[in-house]
Amino acid sequence: MTLTGRSLVSILDFSNEEVLAVLDIAEQMADALGWGDEAETQPVAPLDRILATLFFEPSTRTRMSFESAMLRLGGSIISMADARSSSAAKGESLADTARIVSSYCDIIVTRHPEPGSAQTIAEAASVPVINAGDGHNEHPTQTLTDLFCLRRHKGTLEGLKVGLCGDLKYGRTVHSLAPALARFGCELTFISPPALEMPEEVTEKVQELGAEPRVTDNLAGALDDLDMLYMTRIQQERFADPAEYEKYKGIYVLDRRLMNQAPEDMIVLHPLPRVDEIAPEIDDDPRAVYFEQARGGVPVRMALIALLLGIVEETGISKRSGLAEP
Ligand code: NCD
């Protein structure tokens, strides 16, 4: 098994074993960053590699955590500040852009509104490509970040009971997360209004991987024995008709009352940004781990970049002298 030189377009591009290797290296990266110590960061040796971000859609956490991860590895970043206003606006194809940008860097991170765009970019590029979201299709690095947080709290990814709630139709995070969880043998409950149900092709994928998801629109009724509840935002920007969005916004609000009904060890994750689906009143509930989850985006992306660039081995980070061995 080697991840060197590979791309990550769909979460299923990596086997369970490879996913676990990323998470293990991410744990070592978190140690190298001094998580748990008072001084959070440790200096690293400069790394002669360049990461390019190619973002055709807005992003805060994903882009900044990728940039932070590359800088923490000692590398450099270049980015198309606003890809929508650059050569794409002159009519350049995505494949041409990918070909050119890959001659300027060692690895590309891309986000684009079109499903399948990351695959197009990966096929045209001569360097590894990481999909940071292709429309409503997938968001595999969010899944790695989710699994990192989940495993830290539950000690395993195997056989957990997980509820995915919100906009399962347009939410790309759950399109990557559900298959990943199914492949680890988790029991899934899909919680959404019927109009925002999990797309059939994702449900079929999950079934092929051995899961038989429960489907409901009732959040309160689904809480009883969950290990993890994954809340998502209603994806306003993907509704063709604004009136449709108005119908569903605010449909689920996880508040103190619902948390009182939930199991004592049920953790709550959210890819963020949240709008109104999690009431701030539960932020200080120890089960609410979404901010910690977001923080994990840096060591996870450090691990992924380092593995794809071949600057660490799946067995550990010792190969790279600039990073402290845990
Ligand atoms: C998610 C996304 O972009 O799909 N955000 C993120 O990357 N953390 C979730 C969302 O926008 O709802």
Express each pLDDT in 246-297 by its tens digit.
999 999 999 999 999 999 999 999 999 999 999 999 999 999 999 999 999 9
Task: Check for a shared fold between 11-139+297-316 and 140-293.
Answer: yes
Domain segments of the chain as ranges? 11-139+297-316, 140-293
Ligand 1 centre to CA of 235 (Å) is: 9
Containing 232, the helix (H) or strand (E) segment is none
User: How far are the Cα atoms of 178, 180, 183, 277 from residue 209, in angstroms, in the given order?
Assistant: 10, 9, 5, 29
Q: What is the DSSP string of 284-298?
A: TSTTB-HHHHHHTHH
d(CA 77, CA 71): 8
Q: Which of 57, 61, 62, 291 to mutate to test the pocket of ligand 1 (most atoms within 8 A of CB)?
A: 62
What does the pLDDT read at residue 82?
67
The model's pTM is: 0.95
| Distant-in-sequence, close-in-space partners of 241: CB < 8 Å, separation ≥ 6 | none
160: left (phi over 0), alpha (psi -120 to 50) or beta: beta
HSE-up (13 A, CA, CB side) for residue 184:
24
Q: The dihedral of CA 132, 136, 140, 141: what is its sign?
A: positive
- Please work out, in degrees rounded to the nearest 5, the angle formed at the alpha carbon of residue 212 by the alpha carbons of 268 and 159: 50
Atom number, ligand 1, closest to the C-alpha of residue 139:
4
pLDDT (tens, 9 = 90+) of the chain, 326 residues, equals 799 999 999 999 999 999 999 999 999 999 988 887 765 556 677 899 999 999 998 788 889 999 999 999 999 999 986 666 666 777 889 999 999 999 999 999 999 999 999 999 999 999 999 999 999 999 999 999 999 999 999 999 999 999 999 999 999 999 999 999 999 999 999 999 999 999 999 999 999 999 999 999 999 999 999 999 999 999 999 899 999 999 999 999 999 999 999 999 999 999 999 999 999 999 999 999 999 999 999 999 999 999 999 999 877 765 444 555 44
Kindly write down the DSSP assignment for every residue of 114-166, as one continuous string.
STTHHHHHHHH-SS-EEEEEETTS--HHHHHHHHHHHHHHHS--TT-EEEEES
Report the run of H or E that residue 30 belongs to, with start and end. helix 16-32
Please, are residues 186 and 157 in contact by the beta-carbon 8 Å criterion? yes
Mutate to test the pocket of ligand 1, among 55, 66, 139 (most ligand atoms within 8 A of CB): 139
Domain spanning 11-139+297-316: CATH 3.40.630.10: no
Q: How many whole angstroms separate alpha carbon 324 and alpha carbon 306?
A: 14
Q: What amino acid positions are annotated as catalytic residues?
A: 61-62, 90, 111, 139
Cβ 60 vs Cβ 273: under 8 Å: yes
Neighbouring C-alpha atoms within 13 Å toward the C-beta of 70: 23
Residue whose structure tokens are 């096929």: 123
Q: Does domain 140-293 have CATH number 3.40.50.10310?
A: no
Report residues whose beta carbon is within 6 angstroms of any ligand 1 atom. 61-62, 133, 139, 142, 172-173, 233, 271-272
Query: Which atom of ligand 1 lies nearest, measured to the CA of 132?
Result: 7
Give me the pLDDT at residue 12, please: 98
Ligand 1 mean position, distance from CA 170 (Å): 11
